[in-house]
Amino acid sequence: MAVITLLTDFGTRDEYVGAMKGVILSIAPRVTLVDISHEVPPQDVGRAAYLLEGYHRYFPEGAIHVVVVDPGVGGSRAIVAVRTQACTFLVPDNGVLTRVIEDQVPEVAVRVENRGFFLPHVSRTFHGRDIFAPVAAHLAAGADIRKLGPRVACDELVRLDIPPVVVTGETEVRGCVMTFDRFGNAVTNIDRQQLAALSGKGELEVRLGGRRIAGLSPSYASVPPGQALALVGSRGYLEIGINCGSAREVLGLAVGDPVHVRALPSRPPL
């Protein structure tokens, strides 16, 4: 049985998600539909790209991942279907695949242009219902991805400009806040491997938002309620949190804020 996942910025107050599901089930009634989230901030392609990176690998082989966070709907942006060895992505070509295709080599990528797979009437403002949903359903029912439209080279797909992590010497890395989860934890772009490269060179110190946090904690409960901490989150990135609180609110943080991590040399005993 095919699996289709849905990630959108539609929210759940309106009929948009339900309409997409109705179209899909009308074409492929035996499909399994999985709601990832419909609470992506409106038009926040970067947030959608971050979420997509985090969940797609946990689904069965052959899953179809549909992302409709599409500020360019009705304009000149393309819709693309990209198949890897493990799954298929159906997304607007606006950079939402940036993080996924950094570590996966697509087998086939096409521009979705064959109107035979769309609904008969296509709105300029609701491609989620009229294009993404029926195309995903046809793919789940066994349609050949290559019939959706012309091939596109992977290096032609739109990429987001993701800030790099800067390594300063052997004892410091500099990154930034990438996003926040719903608890207000600040997720940075500094990963586990970059932190490991500093290990053994002294106690780590994290600086951001005018604050200094000494060391990495193994969990949120490692510090008293209300205290700031730094840890490696479940995605493998450095996170800044407040035990039982919001780092975003308490520390006044924002996406893009700089984050510095350095290894402090050990002081010799007196």
What is the per-residue pLDDT across 211-249, written as a single tens digit (0 to 9) for each? 899 999 999 999 999 999 999 999 999 999 999 999 999
The three state secondary structure string of the chain is CCEEEEEECCCCCCCHHHHHHHHHHHHCCCCEEEEEECCCCCCCHHHHHHHHHHHHHHCCCCCEEEEECCCCCCCCCCEEEEECCCCEEEEECCCCCCCCCCCCCCCEEEECCCHHHCCCCCCCCCHHHHHHHHHHHHHHCCCCHHHCCCECCHHHCCCCCCCCCEEECCCEEEEEEEEECCCCCEEEEEEHHHHHCCCCCCEEEEEECCEEEECCCCCHHHCCCCCEEEEECCCCEEEEEECCECHHHHCCCCCCCEEEEEEECCCCCC
67 and 98 in one domain?
Answer: yes
The whole domain housing 240 covers 166-264
Which pLDDT score, from 0 to 100, does residue 266 have?
66
Domains in the chain, number: 2
User: Is 270 a member of any domain?
Assistant: no
| One domain for residues 50 and 177 | no
Residue 269 lies in a domain: no
| Residues 120-177 pLDDT 10s | 999 999 999 999 999 999 999 999 999 999 999 998 999 999 889 998 878 899 999 9
Q: Are residues 175 and 217 in the same domain?
A: yes
| Average pLDDT over the chain, rounded to an integer | 93
- Asked if the structure places residue 220 within a domain, the reply is yes
Clarify whether residues 75 and 100 are in a common domain: yes
